[in-house]
Amino acid sequence: MVVCLLWRISKWRETDVGLESVINAFSSQMRRVSALQKKDSELVSIGKIKVVVLGEAFVGKTTLFKRWMGSRVEEYYVPSTSVSVGVKLLRLEGQDPVLVELWDVPSQTFAGPQIFARYLQGAQAIVLVFSLQTPASWQVLPTHLDVARREIDATETIEMQRTKSLPVIMIGNKSDCIRLEMRNEQEAARLWCKDHDAAYVEVSALVGDSSSIFDILKLVILMKSNKAPQ
């Protein structure tokens, strides 16, 4: 069973008042989705995980987001300058259903540092995206991750910081456009993930099959479950 909810948020740079109202409205919609699902006798309890998707412009973050949400994907598009938020209800075999709250976050260049920090609050997993067409685009991702961890820790209690282990997945997108002469950068990204306890996957958000795209969200859920404190 899958339920989708898509919410587009823009023009947050002007005021935080608009940010609060949109977050509240989105939270209300998500509670309605949860309540509807609880009416199903098979769904005893529903967990929730907030996943923030980070990366530079033109790496295919928004295309990935649209594939996850079942939205129309365009071959040519301009970089997103606003955040998109969506919810996907997934159920893995043998586990309770989970609401995956996806945040497709623009870079600080577009959002500004204060609003960028707000996007990260409460994140429970980070997805980092780079393009295999320009493999060197992975090099900025460790910096994005450091900023994300710093902002997340700043909003958590001391007790939660001690137990938090943030799942991280790095996605090499545009696997249909791999440049053979750039294999060194591709391997460097793999090695960084291995050294930093991050998962590494390669997909094509534009032409890849749906199964491989959704396997990423399933991997997030499994990693979060395995890293949860006992």
Q: What is the pLDDT of residues 116-159, one digit of tens each?
A: 778 888 899 999 999 998 888 899 999 989 988 888 887 765 54
CB distance 190 to 130 below 8 Å? no
Say whether both 3 and 60 belong to one domain: no
Q: What is the CATH number of the domain that holds 95?
A: 3.40.50.300
pLDDT at residue 83 in the model: 83
* CA angle in degrees (0–180, nearest 5) for 134-139-144: 120
Residue 19 has pLDDT above 60, yes or no: no
Domain hosting residue 35, numbered range: 1-40
pLDDT at residue 49 in the model: 92
Residue 229 has pLDDT above 90, yes or no: no
Say whether both 174 and 64 belong to one domain: yes
Say whether both 132 and 153 belong to one domain: yes
Q: What is the pLDDT of residues 64-91, one digit of tens each?
A: 988 888 766 555 555 566 788 999 888 8
Taking the CA atoms of residue 104, residue 108, residue 112 and residue 113 in that order, the dihedral angle to the nearest 10 degrees is 100
pLDDT at residue 182 in the model: 75
Say whether both 96 and 119 belong to one domain: yes
Say whether both 29 and 113 belong to one domain: no
Total number of domains constituting the chain? 2
Confidence of residue 183 (pLDDT cuts 50, 70, 90): confident
Quick one: the chain helix, strand, coil %, rounded to 5? 45, 20, 35
pTM: 0.75
